[in-house]
Structures are given as C-alpha cells and as structure tokens.
Amino acid sequence: MRLCIIFAMLLLVVAGVAWRFASSGSAPQIGTTAPEFTLPSQDGVPVSLKDYRGKWVVLYFYPKDFTRGCTIEAHNFQRDQQQYAKKNAVVLGVSVDSADSHKQFCAKEGLNFKLLADTSRQASKLYGSLMNFGITQMAARHTFIIGPNGRIERAYMNVSPNSHSNEVLAALDALQKSTASE
C-alpha cells in the first residue's frame, strides 16, 4: 500500500512538471516562412518582422525580464552586438512582459537592441514558444534564425543562456558561408 502511495505521488509530480513546462503550439519548421508579427518595443514603437527583410534576424524568446538566466542571455547578446552588425544581423528579444518592463530592463542592464512586448502572447504562440508556468503563461527560451528572405534557417528549442550568443554567431557564420557558395 505504501509503495502505491509513493508511486501515485511520483506520477502527480511528473505530471505537474510536464504541465508546468508544456509549450502550447508547435514551432515553425526550418525552411518555412517565418510567421509575421508586429509588437511594441521597449520604446513603445511598433516593430514588425517584415521591417527586417534583407537582414538576418535572431529572434529569441525568453521567459522574464530581470531574472538571472534572461539577464545573462541578454548581456551576451548585447556584448556581441558589433559581431551581429558585421553579419548584417539584428537581435530581437521577445517576452510576454510589458513594454514598460522592457524599458526598465534595458535601462538597468544597458541593453540597446529591441525587446518586444508580446502581452497578447500571439507571437509566442505562432512560434510554439508559449509555456505554462504554474497558473501563468510565459515565453519559453527558444531562438529562431531567420534569413534575409524571411525563412526560418535554424531553431533552438533547448537554449543555455551562458553560451547561446556564441552558438548563434557560429550558426550565422555557417549559414552565411553556405548561402554564399550557392
């Protein structure tokens, strides 16, 4: 009997963790056109994906402003901004936090790239990057590299904030070399 109770409790814990981190929707496939969106930036200015046609876009979704992992990831993207610019690439961060929260986060952390407020959660859903966290929903830590033609070239569904910017820069190098040789 005691073993059955322990087993039942274990099942409940596993089910709870799976529900807690469940992502709603599926991510767009590599080679498909990136879903369009328009979201306000930290400055309150609307930003559309289509505004960046002709450039490489690093579209990264992250859970929450001012949290440890998200701050590390943002700092690394900020640190590498010159390298992204040399690769004709822009970095766009997306979370479900408000534009005002993003503005405060950018000011506190010295970020000068665009953070987009997906308060309606629509863009996060389009990219399969919305997760349930307890009773709230937030963006999952996912990244998409979108080519100048508007197509998804790479997708990262398991991101380590510490090394991710380096990983993305290396992927951009490889993608740009392969498209240059075609």
DSSP string over 8-48: HHHHHHHHHHHHHTPEES-PPPTTSBPPP-EEEBTTS-EEE
- Of the candidates 174, 156, 175, the one whose C-alpha atom is nearest the C-alpha of residue 73 is 156
Rounded to 5°, the CA angle 85-91-92 comes to: 150
Active-site residue identified among 39, 70, 116, 145: 70
- Amino acid 177 reads K
DSSP state of 52: G
Residue 4 falls in the annotated catalytic set = no
Catalytic residues: 70
